Structure 1
Amino acid sequence: MTQLQSTLTCPECGHAETETMPIDACQWFYDCKSCGALLKPKPGDCCVFCSYGTVACPPVQQGDVCCNTGST
């Protein structure tokens, strides 16, 4: 079963926040609710959840390589 909750941890300040992941789109940016840092995916990752979350995004959980495959 696909998990839709993931806890993002800010690499700048260490703040952790549990968020609901979109199932039909990537989330490329996330503003830390503590320090305001703009999180972006690490090289090779498709979204902020794959880079900073406790659970990978739904497409990756379902076996897809990336949730933005084929987009520009």
Structure 2
Amino acid sequence: MEVDLKSVITCPYCNFQKEEIMPSESCQFFYECDNCKKVLRPKEGDCCVFCSYGANVCPSVQSKSR
């Protein structure tokens, strides 16, 4: 199973969605919404913003669940 680096991230404040390429070597802790400019941070217990707000979890979590 290949790791998917694309994920659609959804802003919890304005519901704006954007497809992004996730970093493959590290987790992303901050993400600024292009629409409302709010800075997203991971929810408690999640390692990154993609695990909290993305359609796909981050590459490190994907590779662990193989």
Report TM bin, short chain.
over 0.9
Report the count of equivalent residues.
Answer: 64
Larger helix share, 1 or 2: 2
Identity among equivalent positions (%) equals 50
Q: Structure 2, unaligned stretches of length 5 or more? A: none
Runs of 4+ off more than 2 Å: none
Within 2, Cα distance between the matches of 1:40 and 1:7? 16
In structure 2, give the amino acid aligned to 1:13.
C
TM-score, length-normalised on structure 2?
Answer: 0.94
TM-score, length-normalised on structure 1?
Answer: 0.87
Within 2, Cα distance between the matches of 1:24 and 1:62? 12
What is the CA RMSD across the aligned residues, in angstroms?
0.9
Q: Structure 1, unaligned stretches of length 5 or more? A: 65-72
